[in-house]
Amino acid sequence: MDHGRSQRPSTLDVPKDLSFDPARLPPIDDPRYEVKFTADVIDLPHVMAWITAHRLGFRLSYPDRVVNNVYLDTPGLDAYYENLAGVSRREKARYRWYGETHAPAKGTLEIKCRRDSIGWKWNARVNHPMDLDQLTWMAFHDQLRSHVDVPFQFLLDSQAFPALINRYRRSYYESRDGLLRVTVDRDIELYPQVGRARPSFRFRAHSARALVIEVKCAARHRNIAAEALTQMPWRVSRHSKYALGIESLENL
């Protein structure tokens, strides 16, 4: 059963030799050192205890909120396969908004770049409503493109295909000195969109019962982060919510 899948809209076809060039964007001000850990949801109390009892004095820095993403990729899912292969230099594009709604009044188009454990983002604010319950993916692409600057338009022309919607609840913590931040993601939902003509929240993929813990700081403080993590009882992971969502297509 195709569950409403269809061929990709022809207006989103992209020449095979077209690729996104990050050099078109402004220089990076402050790259981040980022390390991810994964744990089972049953370990949530232990994760919270480790964070709040840490000698660096981590405390809640922002109220919990629901994070939503539409991940964009090339027709050949290049971003997915680069993640799978462990490519150290890679870029990922997504449209992000916050809250329970499928119709955000505003959001952000993000280009997330990573070089080994160092990452950074370029953001384009989109102050335009996007009702995913009403739009086709073709209309979503066109509206998004019309509300961002040229470098981001080029991104949308090279990574034009919505491949996954995911959402999760995120908690935010910051060390007493403000140098380190920790986020904890749970209640992860995955909605693969490959081959669909319009957004669909109907067919939810089976997601792992996972917590994703991420420690972040300015790249210049990576030694402080490494020392703080020496007693972390969970393993470092290359966990990617995007890759997990694409892999779940086999189970739909």
pLDDT digits (tens, 9 = 90+) for 144-181: 999 999 889 988 888 778 999 999 999 999 999 999 99
Helix (H, G, I), strand (E, B) or coil at 62: strand
Q: For residue 51, what are the domain limits? A: 31-251
Residue 5 inside a domain? The answer is no
3-state helix, strand, coil in the chain (%, to 5): 25, 35, 40
Q: Which of 95, 166, 161, 103 is nearest to 134 (CA)?
A: 103
Residue 26 is predicted with a pLDDT of: 57
Residue 10 is predicted with a pLDDT of: 33
Residue 10 inside a domain? The answer is no
Report how far residue 54's alpha carbon sits from residue 164's, in angstroms, rounded to the nearest whole number: 35
Residue 238 inside a domain? The answer is yes
CA 77 to chain centre: 15
For 235-252, the pLDDT digits (tens) are: 777 667 788 788 776 554
In sequence order, the 6+-apart residues with CB closer than 8 A to the CB of 7 are 195, 197
**Low-confidence residues in the chain, pLDDT < 70:** 1-29, 88-89, 206-208, 238-239, 249-252
Residue 1 inside a domain? The answer is no
Q: Which of 161, 163, 144, 162 is nearest to 152 (CA)?
A: 144
Q: Are 206 and 248 in contact (CB under 8 A)?
A: yes
Residue 91 is predicted with a pLDDT of: 81
Q: Which amino acid is residue 239, in one-letter code?
A: H
Q: Are 126 and 144 in contact (CB under 8 A)?
A: yes
Residue 220 inside a domain? The answer is yes
Total domain count, the chain: 1
Residue 23 is predicted with a pLDDT of: 55
- Mutual orientation of helices 137-145 and 150-158 as an angle, nearest 10°? 160
Half-sphere CA count of 130, side-chain side, radius 13 A? 31
Residue 238 is predicted with a pLDDT of: 65
Residue 78 is predicted with a pLDDT of: 87
Residue 159 inside a domain? The answer is yes
Residue 117 is predicted with a pLDDT of: 84
Residue 2 inside a domain? The answer is no
Residue 52 is predicted with a pLDDT of: 93
Which CATH number does the domain housing residue 217 bear? 3.20.100.30
Residue 160 is predicted with a pLDDT of: 77
Q: Are 186 and 169 in contact (CB under 8 A)?
A: yes
